[in-house]
Structure 1
Amino acid sequence: MSNIHNFGAGPAKLPSEVFDELEEELVNFNGTGISLMETSHRSATYIKLNAEIQDVVRRLLNVPQNYKILFLQGGGQGQFAGVPLNLMSRTGTADYVITGIWSVIAAREARKYGNVRFATPQQDSYVNIPDLSTWDLDPNASYVHICDNETIDGVEYDFIPNTNGVPLVADMCSNIMSKKFDITKFGAVYGCAQKNIGTAGVTMVIVREDLLNQAMPACPSVFDWTLTAKNNSILNTPPMQAIEVMGRVLKWIERNGKLEKMEELAVKKSSMIYDYIDQSNGFYYAPVEKRFRSKMNIPFRVGPPKGDVDLENQFIEDAEKQGLIQLRGHSLVGGIRVSVYNSVTVEDVEVLLRFMKEFFKQHAK
């Protein structure tokens, strides 16, 4: 519906062009006469599609040949286990940089498989990235794990940390394909599709080849990066429809200015919202320090001094009446959250801002 403006944190809005393409292909994929959902994952048709999507990923992120691109299931949380199951055996210990709720959950999961150290000082709230000088990194760690964008807390890295030769692993579930970055600075990155690159069901892992062949004996085959790489992500039946959607979205990104344009728009859209929040004299309050404000997920409170639950509920109710949906903050933190992923347009943001200004006029004292 054209009057709906979807700011959901995930599953998130998809480009309208992708829906048009999927509608055409749904019951007759690539001229085969059947749906991709009915097609064998061992067929030439799917094997070709699988290779094409990997090629798009390589082009967009400039991925060297010594990195493998894997398509797995289990979402980002699956990789909270997949990372230690594949990498922890190197030394039995890993460093986790805690910058928000998702990095806490990732560390908690990893503790099932080895010794996990918190590499950063404990924080009462997550409003920044602790200065690199305060990090306590173990040179013997199997890897250092970061969450590049905290979807719940709205904290995003503006730098790639130097881990002094220890492999850097990044959860990029909510900001992969929203900006250019140097993949060679990482040992592995992973991202679930239902934010910027598709729909739920597939998770992409990009891993340097020298980090393969180290999975724990107890690692389930479906989470084993080495087995997945050897089988070209067709170890078992993959979520082919979700992978097709991901491919469509990635090709849409490539046609529409690539990552340079996605980053430019991300800065523009997020700045429009943050600038108005900062001009609202505290009626709207964004807690994250300006340098580390996420360009993907914008959490804020409504009503002084730092949020009025009744007023926030009114905000959400009134917004939904105007087609502005999925604005409620995560249940763990409350408030409002605006997600401005690649598919969210500048026009969507403009409609939201008009609503925010009118709500301010009606309720600010």
Structure 2
Amino acid sequence: MTDRAFNFNAGPGTLPVPALQQAARDILDYQGLGLGIMEMSHRSKEFMAIAEQTESLFRELLGIPNNYRILFLQGGASSQFFMVPMNLLAPGTTACYLNTGTWSAKAIKEARRFGTVDVPFSGEADNFRRLPEPTDYTVAHGCQYLYLVSNNTIFGTQFSSFPETDVMLVADMSSDILSRRIPVERFGLIFAGAQKNLGPAGVTIVIVRDDLLDRVADSVPTMLRYKTHADKQSMYNTPPCFAVYLVGEVLKWVKAQGGVEAIEQRNEEKARLIYEMIDSGDYYRGHAEPSSRSRMNVAFNLPTAELEAKFVAAAAKQKMIGLKGHRSVGGCRASIYNAFPVEGVRHLVAFMQRFERENPA
């Protein structure tokens, strides 16, 4: 589909064209039933089969062990900021949070409503330009879990490896889930909003270890317990049916590409092309320190704010949309999630080269 724009938005992000084309057909009529995917009962055998296949594909692609449950929840990743401590942080106990950006700061604020939060590392003083090295912090004895955000969309940073600790890891992987292989067995819980790499906004996927389901206090409302949804296979109430369906179509596409390993290689190539352009001179300056750079979100600045505004406007005229950086960082940001094509990155790099020639500082 040559008339599609290159979507550099941080979220919702671009989706695979084959998945969108299949959805376009199924919205009107799903497999000859005479009704569309958004009109079906979530308890029909057809939708139950969709949900089961989606969960099975997700488990297969990420290598999720059998002692983990996969939940399809609503409320966005932001609801997990309070659901995690409500379910895992008992009164009188402590959790450790690494403050590496906006989303971890919001999670810290919510967690403090339920228990004590220790923040052994914060990158705020340096405007979150880097992620911590193992020697930068110490996890307090007795912490219930160590919480981290694996990829920071706003500041363009990403953990290249995860902390080595005896404390259970909990991670917000909303913006890099399925972009690379991850050691799921090292985490007690992982959650991700779908709208970056998995599908449309509206569903949040939670991967939670079985033994954690019974930790929840009796005072936690029914709908906010992971166990409620695990016991009912995410069907305690009406799930976000269309979002779950489209996640399944995206997972089929990922598998057809060669799985997570192939997606990871392509993501590395896309990021390398842009960072090589940034590092080729002084005109473009990356926000994140090289050791902390994200493969999903490339945040960068030009010599002046005026040139940045001109860059974003000129790129939009060439059907490259969503390149304006977040207000807390300014500048520009190229979000290149799983379904973003390598062709679009090459198009951007060529544009960056021309823009620098035609607009000297």
Q: TM-score, normalised by structure 1?
A: 0.95
Query: Are the equivalent residues in 2 in contact too, given 1:144–1:169 (CA < 8 A)?
Result: yes
Write the distance in 1 (CA, Å) between the matches of 2:224 and 2:274. Answer: 39
Write the distance in 1 (CA, Å) between the matches of 2:341 and 2:216. Answer: 41
Partner of 2:153: 151
Partner of 2:300: 300
Task: Spell out the pairing of 1:1-365 with structure 2 (5 A cutoff).
Answer: 2-89=3-90, 92-121=93-122, 123-125=124-126, 126-164=128-166, 166-280=167-281, 282-303=282-303, 308-365=304-361
Write the distance in 1 (CA, Å) between the matches of 2:91 and 2:114. Answer: 12
Write the distance in 2 (CA, Å) between the matches of 1:208 and 1:137. Answer: 21
Counterpart residue type for residue 80 of structure 1: F
Query: Are the equivalent residues in 2 in contact too, given 1:121–1:134 (CA < 8 A)?
Result: no
Tell me by how many angstroms 1:123 deviates: 4.0
Tell me by how many angstroms 1:15 deviates: 0.8
Q: TM-score, normalised by structure 2?
A: 0.96
How has the CA–CA distance of structure 1 residues 302 and 137 changed in structure 2, closer, same or farther, with 3 Å as cutoff?
A: same
Write the distance in 2 (CA, Å) between the matches of 1:119 and 1:101. Answer: 16
Identity within the alignment, %: 37
Query: Are the equivalent residues in 1 in contact too, given 2:92–2:116 (CA < 8 A)?
Result: no
Counterpart residue type for residue 80 of structure 2: Q
Write the distance in 1 (CA, Å) between the matches of 2:244 and 2:31. Answer: 15
Tell me by how many angstroms 1:91 deviates: 5.6
Write the distance in 1 (CA, Å) between the matches of 2:321 and 2:172. Answer: 26
How has the CA–CA distance of structure 1 residues 121 and 354 changed in structure 2, closer, same or farther, with 3 Å as cutoff?
A: closer
Query: Are the equivalent residues in 1 in contact too, given 2:92–2:115 (CA < 8 A)?
Result: no
In structure 2, the residue corresponding to 1:212 is in which secondary structure?
Answer: helix
Tell me by how many angstroms 1:47 deviates: 1.3
How has the CA–CA distance of structure 1 residues 163 and 348 changed in structure 2, closer, same or farther, with 3 Å as cutoff?
A: same
Counterpart residue type for residue 295 of structure 2: K
In structure 2, the residue corresponding to 1:170 is in which secondary structure?
Answer: strand
Query: Are the equivalent residues in 1 in contact too, given 2:6–2:321 (CA < 8 A)?
Result: yes
Tell me by how many angstroms 1:94 deviates: 0.5
Write the distance in 1 (CA, Å) between the matches of 2:332 and 2:222. Answer: 40
Write the distance in 1 (CA, Å) between the matches of 2:107 and 2:313. Answer: 33
Name the stretch that deviates more: 154-163 or 291-300: 154-163
The alignment covers a number of residue pairs equal to 359
Query: Are the equivalent residues in 1 in contact too, given 2:123–2:129 (CA < 8 A)?
Result: no
Tell me by how many angstroms 1:103 deviates: 1.1
Can you give the 5+ residue segments of structure 2 that lack an aligned partner in the other structure? Answer: none
Tell me by how many angstroms 1:39 deviates: 1.2
In structure 2, the residue corresponding to 1:189 is in which secondary structure?
Answer: strand
Write the distance in 2 (CA, Å) between the matches of 1:276 and 1:128. Answer: 20
How has the CA–CA distance of structure 1 residues 147 and 22 changed in structure 2, closer, same or farther, with 3 Å as cutoff?
A: same
Write the distance in 2 (CA, Å) between the matches of 1:104 and 1:252. Answer: 34
In structure 2, the residue corresponding to 1:124 is in which secondary structure?
Answer: helix
Tell me by how many angstroms 1:30 deviates: 2.8
Query: Are the equivalent residues in 2 in contact too, given 1:121–1:135 (CA < 8 A)?
Result: no
Write the distance in 2 (CA, Å) between the matches of 1:37 and 1:127. Answer: 42
Write the distance in 2 (CA, Å) between the matches of 1:83 and 1:33. Answer: 41
Counterpart residue type for residue 139 of structure 1: H
Tell me by how many angstroms 1:219 deviates: 2.9
Question: After superposition, what is the alpha-carbon deviation per residue over 1:308-346, rounded to whole angstroms, capped at 9, x for unaligned?
Answer: 211111111111111110111112221101001011111
Write the distance in 2 (CA, Å) between the matches of 1:360 and 1:292. Answer: 25
Query: Are the equivalent residues in 1 in contact too, given 2:171–2:190 (CA < 8 A)?
Result: yes
Write the distance in 2 (CA, Å) between the matches of 1:10 and 1:262. Answer: 19
